[in-house]
Amino acid sequence: MTITETSSSLLKQVDYFEGIGGIKPATEIVAGANLSIAIVGKQKVGKSWFAATAPPPVLHYDFDNRAESLAGKEGVYVKTLIDLDQSRPTAFKALEMDLSILKYRKSKGLPIPRSYVFDTVTYLKNFIINEQFTQGLASRTLKLSPTSSIKLTTNWDAVNGVEAALHYLITEYGQLGNIIFVFHEKAEKDVTESKPDKAVYTDQITVDPQHLAKILSRFNEVFRIQIDTAQKYIVTCQPGYEFNAATTLKLDKTEEPDFQKMIAKHQAKLNQKQA
């Protein structure tokens, strides 16, 4: 046996990690066993409807105040979370309270939802910032009328805080079941070439706001949903010129927007390979 060769029998016999917990062979990892998904798309292209096709029961967090878009969906339970008063935010606290209850139920072997949808992150980030204002995040006040005003962030602490909060939600809810985070899309701004008085754009599509694009690396599946020229809803599953989609599932370049059909196709291809 050469220095670069290792027999399969040796791999089976030697315990390389004695005393180290949490390690398992990659051959035992199953793609799609617990889904972590990002959906990106324009407004009104069916993002919420697509997300709600996740394996049921589905807990669908609605941050856009558009629960009616899910009317009639079987196996989907919708909870609308918005801040009615920016000075007294409630949305992010409610998420954390739900998380605590769900983790407790799981620890006791009680039933919990199979899938969790966060729709959309574009609005959720505002509620995260509202919560940060209560903790002393720097802000300035913008008057909207003689009787109303809003707080705006003044530094990058808000950006870092939103990213940290999203990482927290992805990690914690990801331990409960499938997670689907929904983003609005926008044209990608070229931050190097753009000037204060003139924005320059690349040919790429990214998430809105753009600084959250780095969050996409936390998801195994990154899909873009569109309506094509034939007025048909399609989901891009693999990277292309406009958008860097990604998947660990055995899917075609584009698919019908139905997660359960996509999972079934993946499983069928796995079974075919193993046969």
Tokens describing residue 204: 């790429």
pLDDT of residue 124: 97
Domain ranges of the chain: 31-225
Residue 80: its H or E element:
strand 76-80
Architecture (CATH level 2) of domain 31-225: 3-Layer(aba) Sandwich (3.40)
38-56 mean pLDDT: 95
| CA separation for the pair 22, 14 (Å, rounded) | 17
Residue 254: its H or E element:
strand 254-255
| CA separation for the pair 65, 107 (Å, rounded) | 31
Per-residue model confidence as pLDDT tens digits over 207-266: 999 999 999 999 999 999 999 888 999 999 999 999 999 999 999 999 999 999 999 999
Q: What is the pTM of this model?
A: 0.86
